[in-house]
Amino acid sequence: MKKVFRYIIKTLLLIIFAFILLLASGFLAVRWGLTNVAGEEDDNSFAYNLIAEKEPVEQWLSPGLPQSLSVYGENEYLNWCRLGVATSITPYDAKDILKAYTYTKSPELLERMLLAMSLRQGQDSIFNQLLDDCENKPGIWNEESLGLALTDVSGKSVYTWQNGEPWQIIKEAIIKDEALIKEVSQITGVQPRLLVSVAIVEQLRLYYTQREFYEQFFKPLKILANANKMAWGIMSIKEKMAIETEEHLHDKKSEFYLGSEYENLLNYKDDDSIAKERYHRLTDEKNHYYSYLYGALIIKQLQEQWLKHGYDLKYRPEIIATLFNIGFNNSEPKANPVVGGSTLDIEGEKYFFGSLAFEFYYSGELSDVFPFE
């Protein structure tokens, strides 16, 4: 009987030890970056750069309406035709595009929203062929007929990331954090929609590239918590990048330096417990403020570096997200930057970190909560 009892005790101790070892290995994998996904270049980088050069994005949402016969510009009927094509091919997405276009009166914004759909469906798709046809015969579509056609729409999005359960969970969690996101936006000057673009890509990447690892390590460690709570995983800020972000705030010689008004945003009260406090900031399940603040400051610092070289990334989520993914050391301002980063497979389709951020930003999804500005 005693032998059986000792055997049971030893077995329990071995199970407990194995469980602790499992959790510890998960923690070290996260800390040492062993879960990182190698980056690649998106073949569509040229298309993103071309449209960025083509349109005066800084004038998108400026006060007043375009000085033309139409508040929608000289290509109004061409654009209604393009929206008609979107309505006939993918009404689920077209309703958000129409809403954004009629709200902003911006043909430049419409161009980018259509580009996102065009690249996702492929250059030889029927969608792209019909868009080309609009150049020759704009058609009979107008704001009223499009509104009627899109009154009650259902079905699936052309963006596969919108059609699965993970996106519904992430979407709900992001909406719950609306006030925090907008508070951080006020402090840093980073558009809420741009900040959210990076956050949702991080969450989708973690789910679709590390599903088993997430279930085995992240979930029991509560580093990422449950998907509907969005803890550390909101922005997936690694310790090294967090430290660099803090240092840039005080280094006046750095290209990433933002100015004296930002210097104290990440200060610590006790120098003896900085590492512990930093870890707490980035793993706090109950308050995501610092997760968003670090994320926004990283975006702001990248924007500042590129602006000092003459390149404005304000409306280029695909570049911001790519740089966010590959890190400060790989950020090299230039005229034709590469779009890419980590890759992931979502329901059989390949996505790049940068292009996925572009797709969310210009899909119009969540524009009721985080509008274009």
300 vs 190: CA distance, rounded Å? 6
351 by DSSP, 3-state: which?
strand
Per-residue pLDDT at 220? 45
Tens of pLDDT along the chain (373 residues)? 555 556 556 555 555 554 444 444 444 443 444 334 346 788 888 888 888 877 555 555 544 444 455 788 888 999 999 999 999 999 999 999 999 999 989 999 999 999 999 999 988 899 999 999 998 887 789 999 999 999 988 889 999 999 988 888 888 889 999 999 999 999 999 999 999 999 999 888 877 776 665 555 444 443 333 333 333 557 888 888 999 999 999 999 999 999 999 999 999 988 778 988 988 888 887 888 999 999 999 999 999 999 999 999 999 999 999 999 999 999 999 999 999 998 888 888 889 999 999 999 999 999 999 999 8
Per-residue pLDDT at 230? 37
204 vs 208: CA distance, rounded Å? 6
Per-residue pLDDT at 148? 93
Torsion of CA 186, 306, 363, 135, to 10 degrees: 130
Map out the domains of the chain as residue ranges. Answer: 39-43+161-363, 65-149
Per-residue pLDDT at 355? 94
113 vs 40: CA distance, rounded Å? 24
CB-based contact 340:39 (threshold 8 Å):
yes
Residue in 351, 302, 325, 317 with CA at minimum distance from that of residue 42: 351
